[in-house]
Structure formats: structure tokens, C-alpha cells
A and B are shown apart, each in its own frame.
Chain A
Amino acid sequence: MSPIYIMAVVTLAASVALWGGLIYFLTGRQKRYFWLLLLGLPLSAIANYLLKPQAIIAVGRAAQVQPGLGLAAPVWFLAFQVLLSPLVEEPVKVLPLLLGPARTMLASRTSALWVGFALGVSFGLGEAAVVAFGVAQSGAYDFLPWYAFTGFFNERVMTCFAHGVMTSALVVGMQRGGRFILYGFLGALGLHLFLNAPTVMYQIQWISATVYNFSLLVPFVVLAVVFERMRRAARDSKKDDDGKEVVYWQRQYTEEHN
């Protein structure tokens, strides 16, 4: 068995604990979003082994672009391949909303945010398994011990969060309806392209491996800022702790009584 599978198990456990914990504590200890973490698990395999390859083959045949050209392919075809991931993955990630019980959870912007986040994290978990499978199939890293795959661990844990943020943007847009559906989709698309930018620049050799490794941090920080802003915008208007605040002393009140 390839050693990366051991790290994949560790990665999945850590991601579920970390992002599931985030959902739990930021929603005020609600557990109702947890079941959504199961729904997106197979979707990355569907997107990456079925939909995207078929799309590339179909477009390549139609445009008579020879397969296997890599970076030698026409620029528009390379751009198409870059766009393909977000164009396919973002709609695929919200497919679970076809299920009634999932759809009924979109009662407010806040719940839509967390439904989207959970579905995105779920997709990311499945994607981590897909990536591990792909690495294992290549056999190139079988000589390494399982604990050498910390790069895989770091990248996949953060990518789960990133998928959560992107899907939140789309699902909040869907919940608001109308033109916001398009805004949400374009927002998710843009964030996805931004996240993939370091990878693309590395693949076309614009940046070195070292710069690539450090540049991965930038999109994640930006996504965290975006998510926090979305969360604040989607917050329900009621106070967080109705009736739980105790005011011991207040200067203005004391002065009036004096």
C-alpha cells in the first residue's frame, strides 16, 4: 500500500476535525450541518475522472487539438483547461442541493453560508482522496515514509477550507435568488481562479517551486478575509447572547444617579 494513503487518512481526520469544529463553534454549537460533510465526498472523483477529461477530449477533438501537447497546446486551449476546473467544480459542488432536506436548510443567508461551507469542505475531502489515489497510482513517491507527505497534508487541509469558502459564495447567492445567483457563481469562479493562480504560474514556469510553495499562502489568507466578511454580512441581526449579558457597572448611569 502506498504510504500516502496513511497521510491521506490523517489529512481527512484533521480536516474534518478542524473545519467541522469551525462550523460547530461559529454556528453556536449547531450539529445540523455535519451530515452535509458526507454528500460531497464522491463529487470530486466524478468531476476529475468523468466530467473534466470528457470536456477536454470533446473540445480538443472539435478544435482538432492533438492530445498530450502539454504547454505546447494553443494558448486558448490552455486557458480553457485553466477555466475548466472552476466551471465544472463549482456547479458540481452544489449538486447535493437537489436533495430536498439539503435545500430546506437554506432558510437564511447565515444557514446558506454554512450549508455552502459544509458542501465545499465535503468536496475538498473527496478531492484529497482523489489526489492521494493519483499520487499512489504514479508510484513515484512510494519510497518515502508516510510522514514525509506533510506538503500534501498542509495543502489538502487548506484546500478543504478554500472549497468551503468558494461554495459558500455560490450558495449564498443562490439563496438570495435573482441576479445574486450569477454574482455568487462569478464570485466562486473568481475565487477558484485566484486560488489556482500559483499552481498555473508554476506549471507554465513563471515561478520557481520555492516561490510556488510560499505563494500558496496568499490565496488562503485572502479567502479567509473574504469568508469572514461574508460571515459578518450574513449574520442574523439578533444579539449573540440574548439575556446572557450582565452589566456590572456603567459610568453614564452612575453619573446620572449622582
Chain B
Amino acid sequence: MDIQPGKPVKTFRPRPSRGWFSLVIMAVILLAVGAAPALALGLASSSAALTLIIVVPVALAFLILAFWFPTMRYELDQGQITLRYGPVLTYRIPLSEIRTIRRRNLSLTIWSTLRFPGIALFKVPYADVGDVKMCATAALSNILLIETEKEKYGLTPADENKFVDAVRTHMEA
């Protein structure tokens, strides 16, 4: 448990998954598709070069996200829940704004966004509940959905009961 002076913070880890592997696979696929024309035609080919220019940064982004996978965590303090993923994702949920906390399965849409087996990040559209701000190690199954007036957040704490009890205790305090 992390303790900051005047602001005790409980940190909860997400459910284990191989989401990092999904991100690495995506990067490899992108690099393969992007590199193949360059290997075959050489960089003198403008279309091969353009493909590389587009694909390589995207593939690198996936690799960087995979590198940050172990940093996913959920922090609970007196006033809010903070969902974190590396330096790129920080969602703050004020406890006073929470309307419901429920666990459910979510329905796919064909829009991929950043949703792969074992990981879902940023805003993901779902067919049944709409857009959800995700910071989770699962995309569809057993998602803990926290709803406020304006937003929905999806997370997957490893010890869900302990997390929910801690949140309820803080809200009722």
C-alpha cells in the first residue's frame, strides 16, 4: 500500500492477462506488412517508403504500450479512484460522482480502437453500453463498470471484491 502524507492511497493491481502479447503481435504484423514491400521493391519505391513511414510509428506505439503494460494500476484515495497506464492514461473518477458499480460482460463492436485479447485502453465503443473509458486487462468479459453522470469506466481489478469493498468504505466514510 502506498502512503502519501495526508493522503493515503491504496493501489490495486489489475487481473493478470497476456494483453502485452496482443500488443506485441500487432506491432509485428504491422512491421511485417509495412516492411514487405520495402524488402521486395527497395526504398527507392515511393509507395514502399510511404508505407514504412506510416506503419513504423504505429508499430512502435504498440511496442511502447506493451512495454508499459506492467504499469497498469488502480489507485484509491479519500476522494477518487485513479486509473493509470504508463504516462499516457490517467482517468480520475471522483467518488462523489459515482452512480453505479457493476460487473458485466460487454458486447463487441467491429470498431477495434485499442481493444485486443487481454487489454482494452482509452475510449472503446461497446454495442450495449456505449463508449467506455477502459483501463483493463480484458476487453469483454467480467468488466467492472463504474458509471458516473457523464462517463463510464471499465476496469479489471485482480481482487474485485476487495477493491469494491474498499471503494464502498471510502464512499460511505
**Given A150-B33, A228-B109: A244 touches B104 (CB 8 Å cut-off):** yes
Contact string against B for A residues 115-146, beta-carbon threshold 8 Å, 1 for contact and 0 otherwise: 00000000000000000000000000000110
| Interface residue tally on A, bucketed by range | 20 to 34
Segment among A44-52, A58-66, A187-195, A246-254 that sits at the interface with chain B:
A246-254
Check if A251 sits within 8 Å of B37, measured CB to CB: no
Return chain A residues, CB-CB under 8 Å to B53. Answer: none
A206 proximal to B (CB < 8 A): no
Interface residue from B104, B108, B140, B168 paired with A245 (Cβ < 8 Å)? B104
Question: What B residues does A224 contact at CB under 8 A?
Answer: 110-111
Give chain B interface residues in 116-137, CB to chain A under 8 Å.
127-128
Complex Cα gap A252–B98 (Å): 11
Pair B127/A248 contact, Cβ less than 8 Å:
no
- Is the Cβ of B107 less than 8 Å from the Cβ of A240? yes
CA distance A154 to B127 in the complex (A): 27
Judge whether B36 is part of the interface by a CB distance below 8 angstroms: yes
Question: In the complex, what residues of B have CB within 8 A of residue A153's CB?
Answer: 33
Once A and B bind, how many residue pairs between them come within 8 Å at the CB atom? 76
The reply on A26 being an interface residue by CB < 8 A is yes
- 8 Å CB contacts to A: which residues of B33-64? 33, 36-37, 39-41, 47, 51
Shortest beta-carbon distance from B38 to chain A in Å: 10
**What residues of chain B lie closer than 8 Å to A145, measured between beta carbons?**
39-40
List, in ascending order, chain A residues with CB within 8 A of B36's CB: 147-148, 150
| Contact residues, A5-25 vs B (CB, 8 A) | 22, 25
- How far, in Å, is A68 (CB) from chain B's closest CB? 30
Cβ-defined contact, A144 with B40, below 8 A: yes
Known: A210-B47, A249-B100, A251-B99. A227 touches B168 (CB 8 A): no
What residues of chain B lie closer than 8 Å to A147, measured between beta carbons? 36, 39-40
Q: Which residues of A contact B (CB under 8 A)?
A: 22, 25-26, 144-145, 147-148, 150-151, 153-154, 210, 213, 224, 227-228, 231-232, 235, 239-241, 244-252
